[in-house]
A and B are shown apart, each in its own frame.
Chain A
Amino acid sequence: MIDEETLAQINGKYVCPPDAGPDWRALSESGVDMSLLEHALSLTPEQRLNEHQQMLDFLMSIHGAGLRNGTE
């Protein structure tokens, strides 16, 4: 059985790490998805570059497609 707090976190409640500083907390409160930053920090620089390149390749494949969609 999942408790209420865990369910809230599953649905989107972010809990700052205990050692988070004021800047981290401020960004979190402003709506920035700090879990993505946590994930990035868990990677090596090479892994970060690899993820970034993969996403760039995907984005390049759809960039501007919505402007052309239905006009071709």
Chain B
Amino acid sequence: MAQNSQEILTRLRKHGVDFVIIGDICCVYYGAPIAATLKIEICCRFDEAELRKIESAIGDLHPFHRLTTNKLPFVLTPGLAPGLKNLYLQTDEGTLDCLGEVAGVGTYDAVVKSSELYKLPYGDFRFLSIDGLIAAKKAIRLEKNGRLLAAIH
């Protein structure tokens, strides 16, 4: 078992998935104390072509839908793509959540507009902007988010 975030991000990039890193990781990116949940969260388009890229990127990591009671393997069966809005996956290299929309910001196009590019040693990646992050955290009022908001303000 692993949470190899670098491996997951690198695979997504290598397979041409367009995505923005969102979630608690962005709080750390902007200097908040490290208390993020152990997962990678991205926002991406949920059309079939993009979903196929995700499937190709992580298909050999035995991905499954971790919220399904029968731990259904992540396979894009015919007709499935139009019904997908989010993916909550567990893989051999860790947890990956893919969202089609970020509460408080909008769909992928709005999220891209509210993002910034950062060069990591293994590639360039887009992170949700600090304004977008604050809007997203305010939209989901969890106790933990209150602490993270205070940290990044």
A12 at the interface (CB under 8 A from B): yes
User: Does the CB pair B142–A69 fall under 8 Å?
Assistant: no
Measured CB to CB, the closest approach of chain A to B56, in angstroms, equals 19
B150 at the interface (CB under 8 A from A): no
User: Does the CB pair A2–B80 fall under 8 Å?
Assistant: yes
User: Does the CB pair B118–A65 fall under 8 Å?
Assistant: yes
Cα distance A33–B99 in the bound complex, in angstroms: 14
Q: Of all chain A residues, which has the CB nearest B143? A: A30
A4-39 vs B, CB cutoff 8 Å, 1 = contact: the mask equals 001101111111000000000000001111011011
Using A58-B6, A65-B29 as known contacts, say yes or no to A51 and B38 having CB atoms under 8 A apart: yes
User: Does the CB pair B28–A55 fall under 8 Å?
Assistant: no
User: Does the CB pair B86–A11 fall under 8 Å?
Assistant: yes
User: Does the CB pair B84–A11 fall under 8 Å?
Assistant: yes
Measured CB to CB, the closest approach of chain B to A33, in angstroms, equals 7
Using A15-B69, A66-B127, A70-B116 as known contacts, say yes or no to A36 and B37 having CB atoms under 8 A apart: yes
Using A35-B66, A54-B5 as known contacts, say yes or no to A12 and B86 having CB atoms under 8 A apart: yes
